[in-house]
Amino acid sequence: MKQFLLSIGLCLALVTGASAQIGEKEKRSQEVQSKIRQVDLMIQILPLVLTKEQIREILPAVEKSRAKQKQILASEDDEIIKLEKKLDEALKAGYESGAYPPRDLQKEVWAVTKALAVRRQIARNEIVEDLYPVIDKVFNAGQKKAAANSLDWKALDPSAKIDDTKEDQKIKFFIRSVFMDPAAYDVLVKLAK
């Protein structure tokens, strides 16, 4: 199951990096991949047997987390775009005179991308901590247990010591893996109808 989740995530990552000018076949493929992701999310969400009212209670928190994720990505875009002038200069020098890209530029790009990754991880943890109290309040004991045990941690990390992990940590992992997925909000909206 986890390998399926990882492969779908990789496919979606590749899709989002695709050119704006795509052909009909590529567009269809992206639509099918989106459907695959929706089915995968249903595999995780439907066993929780959430009522429409529970979903409606969760949706505002998930929507808020989506807004925060979009804000973070926009901030990252700003940081990346700041590198453009130096990158253009390095590319021009490389193409026109075979000049090797400056090591300082390589270090700067590495530092920026590393800082962005750390910032993104911190923000994702904050979002999970914001979503957890809502989930904890809305879910009943059976739903919490189902969420806590629905994902196979060993598939992601064979060295994981799942036996020592508390239920709240497992639920937070579920939140990160399922409710923070970009497609989860739309799936939840459709399930709430």
Q: Cβ–Cβ contacts within 10 Å for residue 140, how many? A: 13
Is the pLDDT at 164 greater than 90? The verdict is no
CA distance 21 to 24: 10
CA distance 116 to 112: 6
Answer whether 72's CB lies under 8 Å from 120's CB.
yes
CA distance 90 to 113: 18
Question: Which residue do the tokens 């598939």 mark?
Answer: 155
Q: What's the pLDDT score for residue 14?
A: 52
DSSP percent split of the chain into helix, strand, coil, nearest 5: 80, 0, 20
CA distance 115 to 124: 14
CA distance 88 to 97: 14
Answer whether 26's CB lies under 8 Å from 11's CB.
no
Answer whether 180's CB lies under 8 Å from 69's CB.
yes
Is the pLDDT at 46 greater than 80? The verdict is yes
Answer whether 50's CB lies under 8 Å from 143's CB.
yes
Q: What's the pLDDT score for residue 159?
A: 72
Q: What's the pLDDT score for residue 17?
A: 52
Q: What is the pTM of this model?
A: 0.75
Q: What's the pLDDT score for residue 156?
A: 67
